[in-house]
A and B are shown apart, each in its own frame.
Chain A
Amino acid sequence: MGAGGGRMHRRSFVRLLAGTPFLRDFQMRSDIPALRVVSGYPASAKPGMPGPYPGRVVSIRSDTCVDTSTGAANDEVVREMMARGMRTLTGAGTTADAWRRFFEPSDIVGIKVNCGGYPHCVSAYEIVADVVRQLMGIGVPVSHIYVYERFQDQMNEVNYAPHLPEGVQIVAAERANRNVDNSGYDPATYLEADFFGEDDTRSNMMRLVSRVLTKIVNIPNMKDHGATGVTGCLKNIAYGSFSNVARTHQRGKSHTYSVVGALAAMEPLRSRTVLQIMDGLRGVWHGGPFARTTRYVFYPRQIMFGTDPVAIDRLLLDIIEKERRARGAISIWDRSPGSLRMDDTRARDADPNVNIIIREPGHVEYASTLGLGVYDRARIVIKDVDVP
């Protein structure tokens, strides 16, 4: 398990990108850093990502799911959207049967939420509560359901507990984003890379993910992101399940292009993440992943369902790009030096035509080269459903 060496260990391997079979039509970039993956967990026969529905996305829309004057969600409408989404995705006759396609009563289920957009755009209480309700409805014990994030202070702000049944475990790996709590991470499961000469070259998977959970439901939001272009399924599950990931982007440069997909593809995370529910009740079109003000909040009023994180994120790229275009903001694909105000978050927050880092929305396509899903828009089948 030595760092940086070329010797192979039974628990480690170097992902040799040029040797993967997914690269037929993909122009590999030359600036991808060497990434060394160390994990003792084998892939399951049918990994959760892209799962049983590669290239398939169900989008449930409702004009009444959110009151856009207040931002408040309508719980009854959201429940109906959730039920329709799961039945449409699976083709099951009942909502419970739809959930049984993914989960068994013996499972220990993690719900990966996103709390970074507090207070205006986080994984909705109504959606998280419905997931818990459905899991309990098919027999998963309440004590086997974990709502998780990386940082406890963010979880405290969002405070899911009053919205969930007693007994649901609400956990985080670190007290706050201070780089002092490592006990919540698995020392034997990590990605090693030297991006900018940082001394700590490892990003470790949460122990909860590697050692406790058997299945994961991923609930990202529809958000812009200053380093990745958007933060959707891939970014939420990857950067939300590993330590020491902020080191990948600084001083204008982002290595998220390759690292988001590489982390999402690591076992056992890849095998155990079986369901993607993208919360698009609310969205953020600039300044993400944060949403401290409503200035950049918008209301897609939809929830997307699938097992393929790449396909959903491919659609998210278009959603954020369309909203930015409508608002007169630069493209998420903009790489011009003239738009870059390195590390100047105030300028970024004040002006949607400012980047603080060259964004890497190409991370979604890159993830497809790792076998995580379908990127080609023409090969993605979208089922749109409107709920009154």
Chain B
Amino acid sequence: MTSLLLLALSLPCVYSAQSVDSRATLERAGIRRLCTEADLAQREALPAPGTAPRAGLASPTRSPWIVASGWRFVRHPGTKYVYEVPAGKAALAAAEAFAYGADAALRIDPADARALGEMLKFLEALSSVDLPPVSDLAIVDDGSPITGEVMNLLARRNLLFDVVQTPSPRYRINIRIGAPGYPREEAADPSAFALRIRRQLTDDQRALRVYGSEVVICRLTADAGRARVHVINYGGREIEGLRIRLRGAYGNGEAHVAGGVGRLALQDQVVADGATEFSLPRLTTYAVIDLEAAR
């Protein structure tokens, strides 16, 4: 763990390596946005993204426990973060931060320099699209850890939420932990609580569904004319034929897939019953899908 890298693409980057060798490794990988130890001092630490076994809660082939930080970025968009990631996780962390537009730095293992360099190159090549995030419900943030854990589990289930300070009339569902209907005791089991919210919302009303994996989390941004879906694969294995359903009618679309895959056409696209479905032929660590609204 010798290298430091400031990720946020919109920010100036400074490098401070612990050795000349590691700095050279990063530069050979095309990584130029570097930072110093001092830059990291005021940043909130993030866990390494991925999946982790949890006895009794998850199994590798069913619902693995996902360690993801997207919910933190949604909750505190102005906070500066730092990942400290072991070998093999840097590219995923970079993709996760990028997908949410987070200001995050990475402390990486030099062995990841090449993979991270390729990911950064991919991210920089993506067209800039500034669309508002799509949410199906709001959660009133009281700042408590339990509310954060509910957000975590909502995100884990691809239940798209907005964070508000008071209930918002924009949403049919406003969750305030401790309010009637959302007792704190129930929220103590955030997974079951998130499932209850899902059923309250109903799957049919969800803006986004994912089929074919339990280890993919998406972020959806859209306006009236187009949509961008960020697709993050936390499982560490390439996924074929991931199926995505978006509420609304979309026409032309294409995917940009990291890991050297590049641009791919969407497959088996269907628009019916107020929703659009398509399959992503390949998903490595990360993909961006851009769609135009149907005319």
Contacts and interface: CB of A to CB of B under 8 A. Distances in A.
A9 B271 CA distance: 12
B212 to A, nearest CB: 4
Overall SS of chain A's interface: loop
A179 B203 contact: no
A179 B238 CA distance: 10
B240 A181 contact: yes
Interface string A146-185: 0000000000000000000000000000000111111111
Interface magnitude class on chain B:
35 or more
B277 A187 contact: yes
Interface stretch (A121-129, A199-207, A287-295, A299-307): A199-207
Interface in B212-245: 212-214, 235, 237-243, 245
B128 interface: no
Contact of B211 (A5, A9, A183, A202): A202
B214 A198 contact: yes
A176 to B, nearest CB: 9
A3 B238 contact: no
B281 A198 contact: no
Given A178-B61, A183-B241, A1 B275 contact: yes
Contacts of A182: 211-213, 239-243, 279
Contacts of A188: 268, 270
Contacts of B245: 2-3
Secondary structure of the B contact surface, majority rule: mixed
B157 A199 contact: yes
B193 to A, nearest CB: 11
Given A5-B273, A188-B268, A179 B202 contact: no
Contacts of B270: 1, 188
B241 A181 contact: yes
Interface in A245-261: 246-247, 250
Interface residues of A, number: 30
Nearest to B196: A197
A139 interface: no
B287 to A, nearest CB: 14
A179 B213 contact: yes
Contacts of A200: 210-214
Contact of B202 (A4, A9, A202): A4
Interface string A1-45: 111110101000000000000000000000000000000000000
A334 interface: no
23 contacts: A2-B273, A4-B202, A4-B203, A4-B204, A9-B273, A178-B61, A178-B237, A180-B235, A181-B239, A181-B240, A182-B243, A182-B279, A183-B240, A183-B279, A184-B241, A185-B241, A199-B63, A199-B210, A200-B212, A202-B243, A246-B61, A246-B62, A247-B62
- For the complex of A and B, list the 5 residue pairs with the smallest distance between their C-beta atoms, beginning with the closest: A182-B241, A183-B241, A2-B273, A182-B212, A4-B203
Given A179-B213, A182-B241, A183-B241, 18 more contacts: A1-B270, A1-B272, A2-B273, A3-B245, A4-B202, A4-B204, A178-B237, A179-B214, A180-B235, A180-B237, A180-B240, A181-B241, A182-B240, A197-B192, A198-B62, A201-B211, A202-B211, A246-B61
